[in-house]
Structure 1
Amino acid sequence: MAKKRVTKPVEERRQEIIGTARVMFTENGFDATQMADISNKMKVAAGTVYHYFKSKTELLYAVIDEITSENTQEKQRLLNETEGSAIDRLKFIFTAFENGELHRDLSSGFLSDPAIIQYYLTKMASSYLLLFSSLIEQGNADGSWSCEYPTETAMFILQGMAGVMAKEQEHKDSPQESSKRIKVYTKFALRVLDVVK
């Protein structure tokens, strides 16, 4: 007797594909994973994955979107739990950055292509924009700094952070070199914010 076909809601199936691809890209690498491997793992017809994603690269971008969304939500939660002034909370973010917590996914096997890394960094900067601009506005209110253009300044800082991470990947920095680079950038970012205390 033929097995009954399992039909799932569109979004549920899409998320299942993304989740399966994320695991397989991480474990086996992007290049070594084929779309057929993903459909086999899910036990679905080969065309099912292509119905939702026209290419493996498009699927990878969806995986990256999910990663950056999760990271942003987690950092927002941690930031909400951090007491103190805006400058204290900003330093918390930069400390996490220095420890590699904001970009640990760059070490994943599927983030090796320069174009893919650039997409990841651009997506990360975009996803953190609201978090940083809100923090800058809080700093204006509590006297941590005086910043006339919160959103534009947040964009500038985030693009700088993305640049630091890109350099790390390009030069394969040691942990010590990476830490030094981030500390220098942190001082620069605080100057951009016109810190008054």
Structure 2
Amino acid sequence: MRISKPREERRQEIVETARELFIAQGIDNTPVSQIVKTVGVAQGLFYYYFKSKDEIIAAVADHIMDSIERSINSSLERKDMGFNQRITMVVDMFLASFGILDEGTGKVTSLVYSSQLYDIIKARLTNTTTDVINALMAEGTSSGALNIRHPELMVTLIIQGLAELIGNGLRERSVILDLIEQGLNLPENSLQ
């Protein structure tokens, strides 16, 4: 017996399934036929929602970025955490949202990471992260947690540099946090 779902719910199910498959095995290694088979729908239904594989790739990138942006922006509202805790939380949300950090164990894993998908969203991700970190930097500077002469330029340097390093294979959370500490002139191990 076929289960009918509301249009938006079915579309979201296809996007989430495609996201999991793209991250697990890469975009090129994930045919539309596998996406629909995993969802349990006919291939024609896929084309009812998406004109092409490129369109589902764009929808997955939007889905990932919407999730990251919601999570990161909520971190700005957390007044119960200090500057260092919020910087660490932003890094962890990015890593978890993109599938680099296993949310259950807190360990970094490279098995579920798709560099193809990362490359597609890197520009939007860099801009979003830069905006959020700049807001945190302004707060850190005014509270005395930071003492940096050119905070906005340093944020750009750190974020663009990390974006490039992650795109080239950097997966170690401790190294990422260490680089941020060094770039922001924070004490060693202040970001955990």
TM-score range, shorter chain: 0.5 to 0.7
Counterpart residue type for residue 6 of structure 1: S
Query: Counterparts in 2 of 1:121-132, with a 5 A limit?
Result: 121-132=122-133
In structure 2, what residue type is equivalent to 1:61? A
**2:104 is equivalent to residue 107 of structure 1:** no
Aligned length: 176
Deviations, residues 77-128 of structure 1 (Å, cap 9, x unaligned): 56727623x35543x358749xx65764383557144xx4322332322332
CA contact (8 A) 2:115 2:167 kept: no
> For residue 140 of structure 2, what is the aligned residue in structure 1?
139
- The corresponding residue for 2:105 is none
- Could you tell me the TM-score, scaled by structure 2's length? 0.63
Question: Which structure's residues are more often helix, by fraction?
Answer: 1
Cα distance in 1 for partners of 2:169, 2:25 equals 23
Q: Does 1:118 align with 2:119?
A: yes
Is 1:38 the counterpart of 2:35? The answer is: yes
Q: How far did residue 63 of structure 1 move?
A: 2.0
Unaligned regions of 5+ residues in structure 1, if any? 192-197
Distance 1:4 1:103, change over 3 A: closer
Structure 2 gaps of 5+ residues are: 101-108, 186-192
8 Å CA contact 2:130–2:156 kept in 1: the answer is yes
Q: CA deviation at 1:162?
A: 0.2
Q: Secondary structure at the match of 1:107?
A: coil
Q: Does 2:50 align with 1:53?
A: yes
Q: RMSD between aligned alpha carbons?
A: 4.0
Give SS of 2:184's match.
helix
Matches within 5 A, 1:74-113: 74-75=71-72, 80=78, 83-84=81-82, 86-87=83-84, 89-90=86-87, 92-93=88-89, 96=92, 104-105=99-100, 107-108=110-111, 111-113=114-116
Answer yes or no: is the 8 Å Cα contact 1:28–1:109 preserved in 2. yes
Rg bigger for which structure?
1
Q: Percent identity?
A: 25
Q: Give the Cα separation in 1 of the matches to 2:5 and 2:91.
A: 46
Deviations 1:51-75 (A, max 9, x none): 3323223313322332343344445
For the residues of structure 2 that align with 1:94 and 1:110, how far apart are their CA atoms?
Answer: 18
Report the TM-score when normalising by structure 1.
0.62
Superposed displacement of residue 182, structure 1: 5.8
- What SS does the aligned partner of 2:6 have? coil
Corresponding residue of 1:6:
4
8 Å Cα contact 2:17-2:39 kept in structure 1: yes
Structure 2 CA distance for partners of 1:147 and 1:47, relative to 1, 3 Å: farther
| Native 8 Å contact 2:64 2:97 kept in 1 | no
Partner AA of 2:114 in structure 1:
L
Please say which of residues 136-145 and 27-36 is displaced more in the overlay: 27-36
